[in-house]
Amino acid sequence: MAVKLLALDIDDTLITRGGSVSKNNLRAIELARKAGVYVMLATGRGYLGASRIVKELGVDTLIVNYGGAVINDTRTHKSVMATELDSGAIIEILDYADELGLHAHIYQGDGIVSERPHPYAEKYTRALDLPYTVDPEIRKKTWRNVPKALIITEPERVSELLPVFKKRFEGRVCVSASSPGFIEFNKLGANKGTAIEWVADHLGIKKEETAAIGDNTLDSEMIKYAGIGAVVENGNEELKRIADAIVPSSENDGVAYFIENYVLTRGKLKLGFDIGGTNIVCGLVKDNRIIKKSSQPFEKVSDESIAQRLYDQALSLMCECGEDKEKVASVGVCIPGSVDTSRGVVVDAHNLGLHDSPFRSLVQKRFNKPVALVNDADAAALAEMKLGALAGTDTSMLITVGTGIGVGLIINGRVFLGGRGKGVEAGHIQTDRRGPACTCGRTGCIETFCSASYLDARARAVLGADADAKTLISAVKRGEKAAVDVWEEYTDNLAGALASYINIIDPERIAIGGGLSGAGEFLIESIRRKVDVGSFFREPTPIVIAVLGNDAGLLGACIYADEV
């Protein structure tokens, strides 16, 4: 089900301490709004305390304040729902805090009140620009309209104090942790979860259509309630156990990541195509999973005829799945070759015979949906970064070893699409001018002696016409001399290429995909030492097998399609 309401915690989720909303987060929030998502804030702060962020975002929705105790309307500046702490409970919290030597304050209107001046309270009120009153009589009064009480202490004391307060007020007051060093007290049952439920009901939005993101236990009820709940990497461990997704930290724009990868894509059907020199694979995809896929031989009469084949293949797949073409939100196409993704043009795909082809528009006019056109290795790298073997890396690479050699580079958390938008063609680095002819028209490219096709050819040469890379590897494992010699030579080649790639970007990790990755650990074991010896750097580079197998390109193309 598509997301219709998104609730964002502010501190250490949407912003880092004292900071502003980043450009990336702002851009993603704007995209979500354009897609019709009701984007709202759900914070432990009061209305005034949240006003700077409300302004930065240009929010014109309801806002959950005081950890769910109050819901305000940013258009009228009035509350639409408010709960209060019982006066007896307030006095007990203040007494107990006093007994433990802790600073506690309560909220009255948008300001705070404490018994004695305290540096924590002064710092807090200055940071949020809140009115601050010191009232020595605070424990003698009967209080009304107090949405929450707050203890501020040293961050490292919270884990020891939280259970103490929880036990003491069990069944009477809701106690949770929010920002580092903060212990919050609300009326029992008043939490961000019940508040988001209130807003969803008010707007006629179903629970399954809601999404929420936060970082601390003050967010746990809303994360449990939401159809999809996420926690930022810097968040609390308890929350990570209950969240549906763990996304990058607040410092690394986790909110934007959540919006782009979960909120905007949830429940949407997409079509992905992986066009290869022999086959075209089409997949119907939902929530980054392939529902069903089909394969047909690649055939080219004209550029138009390939686009038409994609369309026909998709229609029969949709029909088999009982789905209507109109329900498809976007289409992603990946191809082996140099692609100008922003212009939607295949520059040179030698194996497909496509050159300077405005292929994206040929596909688009048939489907009448947004289409992304991308290089197959770039698409696979994106998918492995978002869902697979390269997750959590900022600078890494995916090498596909198949008919050709494809290289997808991840630099600073993004797939690098080439300085002039034509991609990365590292399989066509020429290392031997007098070497064998390459499909690209040159000679001695890395691809000519590192691809799986090269290994197939070498296998046939030593083991006979029926042999291929797979049978060669079996023979190597049995210790057959001729096969072992070929394997040594081949792994020298591949390891040499990888070591050279490492020297260019010093990646945190390399993942190997494509047909030959089926050889798994045996392949990695055979090249690891050779790569380490060959690379400039003394520290070994982790090399792993890609996990999405042959689906990586298709899934990555679908992820790209979200961005067009």
Tell me which residue of 541, 486, 544 sits closest to 513, measured CA to CA: 544
The secondary structure of 505-533 as a DSSP string is: H--SEEEEESGGGGGHHHHHHHHHHHHHH
Query: Is position 551 an interface residue for ligand BGC (rule: CB under 6 A)?
Result: no
Q: How far are the Cα atoms of 12, 83, 189, 372, 528 from residue 228, in angstroms, in the given order?
A: 19, 26, 21, 26, 40
Q: Is 337 left (phi over 0), alpha (psi -120 to 50) or beta?
A: left
Q: How far is the CB of 438 from ligand BGC (least distance, A)?
A: 8
Q: How far is the CB of 428 from ligand BGC (least distance, A)?
A: 6
Q: How far is the CB of 411 from ligand BGC (least distance, A)?
A: 17
SS3 content of the chain, % helix, strand, coil (to 5): 40, 25, 35
Of 376 and 384, nearer to ligand BGC (C-beta) is 376
CB 355 within 8 A of CB 347: yes
Q: How far is the CB of 213 from ligand BGC (least distance, A)?
A: 35
Q: CA 303, 305, 308: angle at the middle one, nearest 5?
A: 115
CB 207 within 8 A of CB 227: yes
Q: How far is the CB of 514 from ligand BGC (least distance, A)?
A: 7
Of 215 and 376, nearer to ligand BGC (C-beta) is 376
Of 217 and 375, nearer to ligand BGC (C-beta) is 375
How many residues bind to ligand BGC according to rule CB under 6 A?
13
Q: How far is the CB of 474 from ligand BGC (least distance, A)?
A: 25
Of 96 and 416, nearer to ligand BGC (C-beta) is 416
Q: How far is the CB of 440 from ligand BGC (least distance, A)?
A: 6
Q: How far is the CB of 527 from ligand BGC (least distance, A)?
A: 18
Of 40 and 511, nearer to ligand BGC (C-beta) is 511
- Burial readout 470-491 (b: 16 or more C-beta within 10 A, e: otherwise): bbbbebbeeebeebeebbeebb
x/- site string to ligand BGC, residues 326 to 355, per CB under 6 A? ----------xxx-----------------
Of 429 and 462, nearer to ligand BGC (C-beta) is 429
Of 42 and 552, nearer to ligand BGC (C-beta) is 552
Task: State the Cα–Cα distance between residues 37 and 337, nearest whole angstrom.
Answer: 37
Among 209, 376, 384, 551, binds ligand BGC (CB under 6 A): 376
Based on its alpha-carbon atoms, the radius of gyration of the chain, rounded to whole angstroms, reads 29
Task: State the Cα–Cα distance between residues 407 and 385, nearest whole angstrom.
Answer: 14
The secondary structure of 101-130 as a DSSP string is: T-EEEEEETTEEEESS--HHHHHHHHHHT-
Residue 411's CB: how many other CB atoms inside 10 A? 13
Binding segment for ligand BGC (CB under 6 A), chosen from 143-151, 235-243, 309-317, 371-379, is 371-379
Binding segment for ligand BGC (CB under 6 A), chosen from 91-99, 173-181, 283-291, 369-377, is 369-377
Q: What is the DSSP letter of 535?
A: S
CB-based closest residue to ligand BGC: 404
Binding segment for ligand BGC (CB under 6 A), chosen from 242-250, 290-298, 399-407, 409-417, is 399-407
Of 113 and 354, nearer to ligand BGC (C-beta) is 354
Of 186 and 338, nearer to ligand BGC (C-beta) is 338
Q: How far are the Cα atoms of 7, 61, 83, 185 from residue 211, in angstroms, in the given order?
A: 6, 16, 24, 24
Residues 436-495 that bind ligand BGC (CB under 6 A): 447
Residue 142's CB: how many other CB atoms inside 10 A? 8
Q: How far is the CB of 308 from ligand BGC (least distance, A)?
A: 23
Of 65 and 400, nearer to ligand BGC (C-beta) is 400
Q: How far is the CB of 495 from ligand BGC (least distance, A)?
A: 19
Q: How far is the CB of 276 from ligand BGC (least distance, A)?
A: 7
| Residue 486 tokens, joined | 């070929």
Q: How far is the CB of 402 from ligand BGC (least distance, A)?
A: 6
Of 40 and 335, nearer to ligand BGC (C-beta) is 335
The secondary structure of 434-481 as a DSSP string is: TS-B-TTSSBSBHHHHHSHHHHHHHHHHHH-TT--HHHHHHHHHTT-H
Of 219 and 447, nearer to ligand BGC (C-beta) is 447
Among 147, 214, 229, 404, binds ligand BGC (CB under 6 A): 404
Tell me which residue of 406, 445, 403, 442 sits closest to 424, measured CA to CA: 406
| Residue 248 tokens, joined | 């990058």
The maximal CA–CA distance of the chain, rounded, in angstroms, is 96
Query: Is position 400 an interface residue for ligand BGC (rule: CB under 6 A)?
Result: yes
Query: Is position 425 an interface residue for ligand BGC (rule: CB under 6 A)?
Result: yes
Three-state secondary structure along 242-290? HCCEEECCHHHCHHHHHHHHHHCCCCCEEEEEEECCCEEEEEEEECCEE
Residues 153-182 that bind ligand BGC (CB under 6 A): none
Which residue type does 264 have?
Answer: L
Binding segment for ligand BGC (CB under 6 A), chosen from 7-15, 107-115, 421-429, 533-541, is 421-429
Task: State the Cα–Cα distance between residues 254 and 239, nearest whole angstrom.
Answer: 15
Q: How far is the CB of 487 from ligand BGC (least distance, A)?
A: 22
Among 227, 254, 406, 496, binds ligand BGC (CB under 6 A): 406
Q: Is 474 left (phi over 0), alpha (psi -120 to 50) or beta?
A: alpha
Q: Report the interface residues with ligand BGC, using CB under 6 A.
A: 336-338, 375-377, 400, 404, 406, 425, 427-428, 447
